[in-house]
Amino acid sequence: MSFSSPRPASISVDFGTSHTVATIRRADGRVHQQLFDGSPQLPSAVFMNDEGGPVVGADAVHSGRRKPDRYEPNPKRRIDDAQILLGETEIPVTSVIAAVLSRVARECEQTLGTLGPVTVTVPAAWGPTRRHVVADAATAAGLGTVDLVAEPVAAASYFVGTIGANVPPGSGVVVYDLGGGTFDATVLRRATTGFDVLAVDGADDLGGLDFDQALAEHLAKQVQPDDERWTRLTSPVEPADLRHRTAFMDEVRGAKERLSRSASTELTIPLLDVDAHLTREEVEQVCAPLVERTIRVTQGVIRESGLAKEQIAGLFLVGAASRMPLVATLLHRELGIAPSAIEQPELAVSEGGLLAQHTVSTPISVPSPALPPQTATPVAAAPAPSPVSTPTGQTMRLPHPSAPPTTSQPTPQAVPGVPQQQMTQPHMTPAMPPAPSPGYPTGPIAPQKGPWIKSKQGIAVLASAAAVLVLAVGALAALQYLPKDKHDELSASESQQADEGTSAGSEGESDDTDGSASTGDEDGLVALGDAVQGDQIAQMASGHVGAITHVEVAQLDGASVVLTGGDDAIVRIWNPVDGSLIDEYRGHEGAIQSLGVVTEAGGRVAVFSSDGTTDDTWYLDDPATTVADRDSLYDSIYWYGLWDGTPAYATDFDVKQLFTGNVITDISTSYGDGLRFMEVGGTLRAVTHYENRVVLTDLASGEPVGGTFDQLSYDIMALAAGQAAGKSLAVTVTGEGAIQAWDLAAAEPFGKPAQELYQTVTGLRVVEIDGKAHVLAFGDQGLSLFSLETGEQVGESFAEHTGDEAIAAAEVTEIDGHQVVVVGTATGEVEVWSL
């Protein structure tokens, strides 16, 4: 699938201290941010890997925790250094910055196919030497000759050109830019051709990172201050302590961000293994001196500009750290000017760079005479500097500053559009969607029965039960002589035998699974052939140590098998008939976060599993052999199948080859929650919900397809999609318990609404029983079944689980032609109930 544009798109790059943002304006006028690993913010971090090449972004942050000597988290702060030491290698600072910009160039090329005009924003106070470094790095990265725009000019252009702030010509504006690592305050005057800088000042050592450090020091004084382990957290030396320190600062930063929205929050302090309570009032007391320092700088630039208060038309807040409520409060109090704040201030500079009409003096793209010659080793016989992609998509060799720009043209992409909201981040009206490409897959995407659908809010909640049924049937054999509440009384010898029969070389890891299931009247269980709705068929022993995170169903040698992934980092393969363990995959170190199966054209089943750190692909009939092992791209995955005959999986913005992770084609999914893919009229579509509306979109354009689906006047709490009664259905439930089905092909409601009065529903599953469409609801009390045609509840509610043992996931399947539901609880129990 490919599209063409009559003229090239424009790109604006905000190379920041902590994060880099790239905004694209397409030829048709649409504006959006380039996504990096699913986020508009690319960490500006660089890590030198074992092969001598730099890794950029989230993977660099991850690797830097293990080997901090090879890691540079903030290359922009090193702009005045000639070289940066990463491990045992000295790298020219231009080449380190070029590594970050190379990632931007590569991702934008994959989105657009070819690069058009590029703007890079730089601090207004930077002189020609620093600007030369950035320009040289941009050229070396393959961005060509770029225009440099002052960051405050870009920010002011965004507020006037996009937000619509009223700034008459001749009036002044103040741009307050508080980012992750630096602070800048600038006064500008609007001219007929843009904005002129009147005064600028700032601090290179003041930003969100410093707020985090102040909060960390506050916690060290408040929580067990005499504990000697605080020294290991505040002044780490050993690699393990460095990792604890990183985890601690992540907790602090997350708590700070949550307190921008709420009055109090909890956070965990690693190493001490204690929870701490933090309030917004505490944060404001700790951070007030730092904010007051920024206000003094802002007062200074206003005075320097010579503008009177009545001449200032606006005070614009940009930079991620500026969203702290304390910032706007103190600024208004001290300056007497009401600040203009937006929902995503970290994106304003990048997007404003597309609108700015006044650029700083653009240096010629040659190495700056103020610095030593840049000596990154050029790649022999390589005419283009385009970084070599590895399976991770993250590692590239250092580009040479003198190399010409790349000319590769990957397939363009339509990036997800975000509905315009109140004064947050409005975008230009999107153009009409392009006609569907003839090569776009239609008809059945994969030989699996039904589409593989995964929830965007958490794959574990809506998709982690399908194979728990296997575990349930497995519990029947070994526990048939024990009452249900005696499971934990298995002898040590029995547990040891189970471990020896189910695991290979798992040193120091406990595992209480015995590979069998329990049945019999003694347990209150009912034989499968005699069961009616609401009867419990099996109670399975825990298949994993800790919670089960994912369940999938597949065919192996003509028989049904179940795959389960868990917190114990293991993927197990089960026989659903007798609950016995067939085999297992032990290639991960962390909890299984993604699990999917794809049946290849020849009938062999490939399995994809990920723990968020590594993405592995292996075959179901040979789990001892890893076919592909690569660093995770932190993608959320919503579909597995065959894409034009190629084993693949889909994220929310592209389809990737299952074994290599390489992008097959770009797709676009509409903004919303509960994203899942399903076939509608033989074509794969995206289904999401937003507030009280279900949205069905075309994957090529991201534009809505068909009519609208409005769920009463209440917000949707859960969404399910599936095939039943010959229809492609979406089913929604509100917080009031109102359940409604939608015929996606006909764009109209299906059947009659139902009402769940028994419990608060957290998940739904579409079910076909005797050719009729039903929905199974699960929540904080148990299971309820409703007819979608009549809206009436079928039978009584069953599978009672409440409190900490509430059902976390449920999946419907068949055992010997008998329809059952398998449930997994928050405490790791797995049960099979008859439908």
More confident position, 68 or 75: 75
Interatomic CA distance for residues 711 and 741, integer angstroms: 9
Interatomic CA distance for residues 230 and 173, integer angstroms: 45
Confidence of residue 104 (pLDDT cuts 50, 70, 90): very high
**Average pLDDT over every residue of 575-583:** 78
Bridge partners of residue 211, in order along the sequence: none
Q: Which of 205, 160, 202 is nearest to 184 (CA)?
A: 202
- Note whether 595 and 571 are within 8 A (CB): yes
Local structure of residue 541 (DSSP, 8 states): P
Provide CB contacts within 8 A for 19, sequence distance 6+: 41, 42, 43, 44, 180, 320, 346
Interatomic CA distance for residues 564 and 469, integer angstroms: 10
Q: Which residue has 């139902």 as its token pair? A: 754
Contacts 24+ apart (CB under 8 A), 431-439: 431/28, 431/29, 431/30, 432/703, 433/698, 433/700, 433/701, 433/702, 433/703, 434/3, 434/700, 434/701, 436/683, 436/698, 436/700, 437/1, 437/2, 437/3, 437/700, 439/1, 439/644
Q: Map 314-345 to HEC letters.
A: EEEEECHHHHCHHHHHHHHHHHCCCCECCCCH
Bridge partners of residue 572, in order along the sequence: 564, 584
**pLDDT for 522-533, tens place per residue?**
567 888 888 899
Whether 314 shows a pLDDT value over 70: the answer reads yes
Token pair of 136 as six digits: 């040289």
Interatomic CA distance for residues 744 and 684, integer angstroms: 12
Interatomic CA distance for residues 37 and 19, integer angstroms: 13
With left for phi above 0 and alpha for psi between -120 and 50, is residue 602 left, alpha or beta?
alpha
Per 3-state DSSP, what percentage of the chain is helix, strand, and coil (rounded to 5)? 25, 35, 45
Contacts 24+ apart (CB under 8 A), 791-800: 791/739, 791/751, 791/752, 791/753, 791/754, 791/755, 792/754, 793/754, 794/533, 795/533, 795/534, 796/534, 797/758, 797/759, 798/533, 798/534, 798/833, 799/534, 799/536, 799/823, 799/831, 799/833
pLDDT at 714: 65
49-58, 213-222, 535-544, range with the lowest pLDDT = 535-544
Interatomic CA distance for residues 80 and 171, integer angstroms: 35
Whether 593 shows a pLDDT value over 90: the answer reads no
Q: Delimit the CATH 3.30.420.40 region(s) of the chain.
A: 1-146+362-398, 167-343
pLDDT at 245: 86
In degrees and rounded to multiples of 5, residue 487 shows phi and psi of -60, -35
**Which residue type is seen at 201?**
D
Local structure of residue 522 (DSSP, 8 states): G
pLDDT at 678: 84
189-193, 250-254, 370-374, 825-829, range with the lowest pLDDT = 370-374
CB atoms within 10 A of CB 205: 11
pLDDT at 635: 66
**Average pLDDT over every residue of 535-543:** 77
Which stretches of 122-199 are DSSP H helices? 128-140, 151-158
Rg over alpha carbons for the chain, rounded to the nearest Å, is: 29
More confident position, 51 or 73: 73
The fold of the 167-343 domain, in CATH, is Nucleotidyltransferase; domain 5 (3.30.420)
CB atoms within 10 A of CB 370: 13
Whether 585 shows a pLDDT value over 90: the answer reads yes
Q: Which of 747, 757, 742 is nearest to 712 (CA)?
A: 742
pLDDT at 45: 94
In degrees and rounded to multiples of 5, residue 496 shows phi and psi of -65, -40
More confident position, 514 or 209: 209
Q: Which residue has 């009032």 as its token pair? A: 281
Q: Map 24-52 to HEC letters.
A: EECCCCCEEECCECCECCEECCEEECCCC
Q: How many angstroms from the chain centroid is the CA of residue 20?
A: 17
Q: Which of 523, 485, 540 is nearest to 831 (CA)?
A: 540
**Average pLDDT over every residue of 286-299:** 94
- Note whether 758 and 784 are within 8 A (CB): yes
What's the CA dihedral at 474, 476, 480, 482 to 10 degrees?
70
Confidence of residue 707 (pLDDT cuts 50, 70, 90): low
- Note whether 117 and 108 are within 8 A (CB): no
Provide CB contacts within 8 A for 746, sequence distance 6+: none
More confident position, 771 or 565: 771
Cα angle at 258 between 254 and 264, to 5 degrees? Answer: 115
Which stretches of 417-467 are DSSP H helices? 459-463
283 by DSSP, 3-state: which? helix
pLDDT at 672: 67
Q: Which of 464, 568, 465, 470 is nearest to 512 (CA)?
A: 568
Task: Quote the mean pLDDT of the chain.
Answer: 77
**pLDDT for 11-69, tens place per residue?**
999 999 889 999 999 887 889 999 998 889 999 999 998 887 899 998 998 888 778 88
More confident position, 623 or 573: 623
**pLDDT for 646-670, tens place per residue?**
999 988 778 999 999 888 988 887 6
**Average pLDDT over every residue of 129-142:** 93
Q: How many angstroms from the chain centroid is the CA of residue 638?
A: 12
Confidence of residue 359 (pLDDT cuts 50, 70, 90): low
Interatomic CA distance for residues 442 and 431, integer angstroms: 24
Confidence of residue 728 (pLDDT cuts 50, 70, 90): very high
Whether 114 shows a pLDDT value over 80: the answer reads yes
Interatomic CA distance for residues 490 and 541, integer angstroms: 11
With left for phi above 0 and alpha for psi between -120 and 50, is residue 529 left, alpha or beta?
alpha
**Average pLDDT over every residue of 170-189:** 92
Residue 746's alpha-carbon distances to 44, 485, 527, 711, 712, in angstroms, are: 47, 50, 41, 16, 19
Q: Where are the beta strands (DSSP E) in 468-580?
A: 517-518, 536-540, 548-556, 559-566, 571-574
More confident position, 470 or 156: 156
Confidence of residue 396 (pLDDT cuts 50, 70, 90): very low
**Average pLDDT over every residue of 337-359:** 86
Residue 545's alpha-carbon distances to 291, 421, 471, 568, 622, in angstroms, are: 47, 44, 13, 6, 23
First to last CA, the chain: 43
Q: Which residue has 């048939």 as its token pair? A: 480
Whether 693 shows a pLDDT value over 60: the answer reads yes
pLDDT at 547: 76
Q: Which of 734, 823, 256, 809 is nearest to 534 (CA)?
A: 823
In degrees and rounded to multiples of 5, residue 158 shows phi and psi of -65, -45
Interatomic CA distance for residues 53 and 46, integer angstroms: 10
Interatomic CA distance for residues 481 and 493, integer angstroms: 17
Provide CB contacts within 8 A for 321, sequence distance 6+: 178, 179, 180, 207, 208, 211, 327
**pLDDT for 371-395, tens place per residue?**
333 333 333 333 333 333 322 233 3
What strands, in cross-sheet order, belong to the sheet with 571-574?
A: 548-556, 559-566, 571-574, 581-585
Token pair of 170 as six digits: 């001749």
CB atoms within 10 A of CB 435: 9
Provide CB contacts within 8 A for 371, sequence distance 6+: 82, 92, 93, 94, 129, 132, 133
**pLDDT for 464-512, tens place per residue?**
334 433 344 344 343 443 433 333 433 333 343 334 433 333 333 434 4
**pLDDT for 253-277, tens place per residue?**
889 888 877 888 999 998 888 889 9
Token pair of 633 as six digits: 């791209």
Report domain 1-146+362-398's class.
alpha beta
Whether 212 shows a pLDDT value over 80: the answer reads yes
Interatomic CA distance for residues 517 and 820, integer angstroms: 16
In degrees and rounded to multiples of 5, residue 424 shows phi and psi of -110, -90
Token pair of 599 as six digits: 């049946």
Q: What is the pTM of this model?
A: 0.47
pLDDT at 586: 93
pLDDT at 358: 54
Interatomic CA distance for residues 56 and 73, integer angstroms: 10
